[in-house]
A and B are shown apart, each in its own frame.
Chain A
Amino acid sequence: MVKIALVSCGTEYSGIQKEIEKAANKFGAEIVLPEIDLDYIDESYEKFGFSAQSSSLKLMIARAMAIVEGRSKPDAVFIATCFRCAEAALVRNEVRRFIQNNTRIPVVTYSFTERTKADELFIRMEALATTVTRRSILAREKQEGLTLGLDSGSTTTKAVLMENNKVIGTGWTSTKDIIESAKTAAAEAFEQTDYGWDDLDGIGTTGYGRFTMGQEFGAELIQEELSVNAKGAVYLADCQKGEATVLDIGGMDNKVITVNNGIPDNFTMGGICAGASGRFLDMTSRRLDVDITELGPLAVQGDWRKAMLNSYCIVFGIQDLVTTLAAGGSKADVAAAACHSVSEQVYEQQLQEIDIREPLIQVGGTSLISGLVEAVSETLGGIEVIVPEYSQHIGAVGAALLVSGMGHRQDNK
């Protein structure tokens, strides 16, 4: 069983301890608390050097020290502190950095409220467990046979058909009924080839609808999107060796994953605010009356500094953009301001939580918006951002790649 160490300042006082344990248990993991004695708390706290006032934060530091010093040997670490506590946020970040700099143990951080439910933690726990238990699958570098990857996202459903390490068909449709949307996307992919469902060696599913699709189609691989997208990204960008960071600004949530030799080793996931998601850009393009595919090139021509945007909020931010237009501002400047706003917010909320390793591979539907890619590069001080071919189908490519070697449908016939 995968052991996930809980490094926290008191999840039990927020009433969410059982939710954390429920989320871990669902994916074959158990929550453990690194055992330490009272003297060790003072010793590690002195050594760490952060003068925290709360004794539970000192305990957190000591537990992290026990992991780094090998007194406790978990497979993964889950660091959680109360949302809105400044002192805890400072310690959470420093403890995360400390564990990452001194071990190869995967870490994920989270700030919780009393409303935090197991469902919100599932994807994080699943990805932590996967990184530990399925390293052999994640180590796959080449696709073999004929496989279908299905990615049921919050906004769109994608299908990718791969054969002998090449993408031979793609499908894309907006997500309505999970199964029907998957069938539509798959049909589009099959249409570009001479193959049908009966010719497949295996099916891999990912995204929010992965379990529903997996059950319906008898998928050989049902996998959360953090591992799958990371794998698909390094595969398509040809960055399977060395380090990289994968950024996926999605329709509902954002993912940032660091990868070492093709295997994800840390990630952060957002999803609190629609203003930091692809939805903001979708709404902007509607207000500008341009197709979403035109928003990127338009933004590249504009200057975000010329448009007033005082709020990150999807409601008030859009209102600001409309005001700019009403005052005679150009559509290009407004498009650039929207891209800059999303990029800046993703940076503030998420990219700061992770140590960015170059190159940055941007994927997902929003990676096709060139203005956003440019804004991300600018926000990060001009670093190189790679957008690989098929980046909008990343989850489906990752699923098709990872399931190869697992499906033996033709042998069974």
Chain B
Amino acid sequence: MVKIAIYPPNSLILADLLERKGHTPLVLQKQIRQKIKDPEIDSPPMNITEEDPIKGLKYAAIEVPSGVRGRMAIIGPLIDEAEAAIVVDGAPYGFGCIGCARTNELSIFLLRNKDIPVLELTYPTNQDETYAMVNEINEFVDSLEETDKEEE
């Protein structure tokens, strides 16, 4: 079982594909769930408080807007934890999105610069491309399993 970061980090489709293969997708929803299950809701709707953009300073400097640092406070730890990553470029909002282009740039850069296998794909525009994308993801994930076994 490999911990795989996905981008967009809240893509239900990508998360589902990985779970079916028995891997752990590192998704935004789990991070947010941890925050909001706290009985003390300080800042609805997502319970991100002033402290989070400050935690985000680990990933981006103070001159970076608070919205980017707030997002990085949630996405950054997922990137830190990742053993592999799948990045889908050009996806529509419905596929998953965190709303901020600067956060996308920084997150994808951090994933590329981490010494882990990264699969980069372009969002499909027709059925054939969709099949091809799913196959590529499956092959990538299988290759991770093999590496995993070899290491064991």
Contact = CB atoms under 8 A, between A and B. Distances in A.
B49 interface: yes
Contacts, number: 89
Contacts of B44: 17-18
Given A9-B99, A38-B93, A56-B99, A115 B50 contact: yes
A53 interface: yes
Interface in B1-58: 42-46, 48-54
Interface stretch (A80-88, A102-110, A216-224, A293-301): A80-88
Contacts of A59: 99
B97 A55 contact: yes
Contacts of A82: 65-68
B53 A56 contact: no
Interface in A236-253: none
A54 B102 contact: yes
Contacts of A53: 101
Size bracket of the A interface: 20 to 34
Contacts of B102: 54, 85, 87
B110 interface: no
A285 B91 CA distance: 59
Nearest to A12: B46
A12 B48 contact: yes
A12 B45 contact: yes
B65 A88 contact: yes
A114 B101 contact: no
B76 interface: no
A91 to B, nearest CB: 11
B63 interface: yes
A80 to B, nearest CB: 10
A9 B67 contact: yes
Contacts of A55: 93, 97, 99-101
A54 B50 CA distance: 22
Contacts of A113: 53, 66
A329 interface: no
A191 B36 CA distance: 61
A15 B48 CA distance: 5
Contacts of A84: 63-65
Contact of B53 (A15, A52, A54, A87): A15
9 contacts: A15-B51, A38-B94, A55-B101, A56-B99, A59-B99, A82-B66, A84-B65, A114-B66, A114-B69
Of all A-B residue pairs in the complex, the 4 with the closest CB atoms, nearest first, are A56-B99, A82-B65, A53-B101, A114-B53
Interface of A: 9-10, 12-18, 38, 41, 52-56, 59, 82-85, 87-88, 112-115
Given A10-B71, A54-B101, A85-B65, 17 more contacts: A9-B67, A9-B100, A10-B99, A14-B70, A16-B50, A18-B44, A41-B93, A54-B100, A55-B93, A55-B99, A56-B100, A82-B67, A85-B102, A88-B65, A113-B66, A114-B54, A114-B69
